[in-house]
């Protein structure tokens, strides 16, 4: 299960569609427990699915549960960023580039939309609601069930549960 927080930066002038970051749990601080997806511009179900695809694929690509990841997603480059972790033997900070091609992101995004498009649209509708209080950070969290490296398995079981109305506002 992936714990994901999706936020929308309305005033962003970033050339990126989105940014995906992993953050450590306050309890353990040593392993990421949440992926934060920040959407820029006017989000669409497709841009949200692309950003969620980057979160899913970055976890698949980086087989280190303690790695912190930071990716920027654009239509020109796909997802580009890095992963970093501390080597447990030496204490040295290790950093690796992380690149996920746009073709892979689009394929995973299509799978996500195909399996849970309604849930993605509901999540996006929650972010775009005009009733948010002035100055409030627009962010919603949910859990995403991520399949292993095999493509085509049920990635959105938890999102479909959230579609029944189980979103937590943050």
Q: How far apart, in whole angstroms, are the C-alpha atoms of residue 117 and residue 46?
A: 9
Owner of token pair 């290790």? 94
Q: pLDDT of 126-157, one tens digit each?
A: 999 988 888 788 899 888 776 654 443 344 43
The torsion angles phi and psi of 60, rounded to 5 degrees, stand at: -70, -40
Radius of gyration from C-alpha coordinates of the chain: 16
| Closest listed residue to residue 95, CA positions, set 73, 58, 63, 69 | 69
> How many independent structural domains does the chain possess?
1
Cβ proximity of 62 and 32 under 8 Å: no
Task: Give the pLDDT confidence score for residue 147 in this predicted structure.
Answer: 61
User: Which pLDDT belongs to residue 67?
Assistant: 85
Tokens of 153: 């398995």
Domain with 30, as residue range(s), is 2-169
Q: What is the pTM of this model?
A: 0.81
pLDDT per residue as tens digits for the range 86-130: 888 999 999 999 999 999 999 999 999 998 899 999 999 999 998
What span, in angstroms and rounded, lies between the C-alpha atoms of 11 and 13? 6
Say if residues 123 and 149 touch (Cβ distance below 8 Å): no
pLDDT for the residue numbered 36:
94
Q: What does the pLDDT look like over 16-72, one tens digit per residue? A: 999 999 987 665 555 557 899 999 988 999 999 999 999 999 988 766 777 889 999
What does the pLDDT average to over 72-85?
94
The DSSP H or E segment spanning 121 is: helix 102-128
């Amino acid at each position: 299960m992936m714990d994901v927080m999706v936020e929308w930066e309305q005033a962003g002038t970033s050339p990126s569609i989105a940014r995906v970051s992993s953050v450590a749990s306050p309890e353990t601080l040593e392993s990421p427990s949440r992926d934060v997806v920040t959407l820029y511009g006017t989000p669409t179900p497709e841009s949200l699915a692309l950003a969620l695809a980057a979160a899913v694929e970055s976890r698949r690509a980086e087989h280190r549960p303690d790695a912190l990841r930071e990716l920027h997603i654009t239509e020109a480059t796909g997802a580009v960023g890095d992963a970093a972790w501390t080597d447990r033997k030496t204490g040295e900070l290790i950093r690796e580039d992380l690149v996920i091609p746009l073709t892979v992101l689009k394929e995973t995004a299509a799978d996500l939309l195909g399996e849970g498009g309604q849930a993605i649209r509901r999540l996006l509708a929650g972010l775009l609601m005009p009733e948010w209080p002035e100055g409030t950070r627009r962010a919603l969290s949910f859990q995403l069930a991520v399949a292993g490296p095999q493509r085509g398995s049920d990635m959105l079981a938890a999102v479909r549960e959230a579609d029944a109305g189980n979103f937590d506002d943050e």
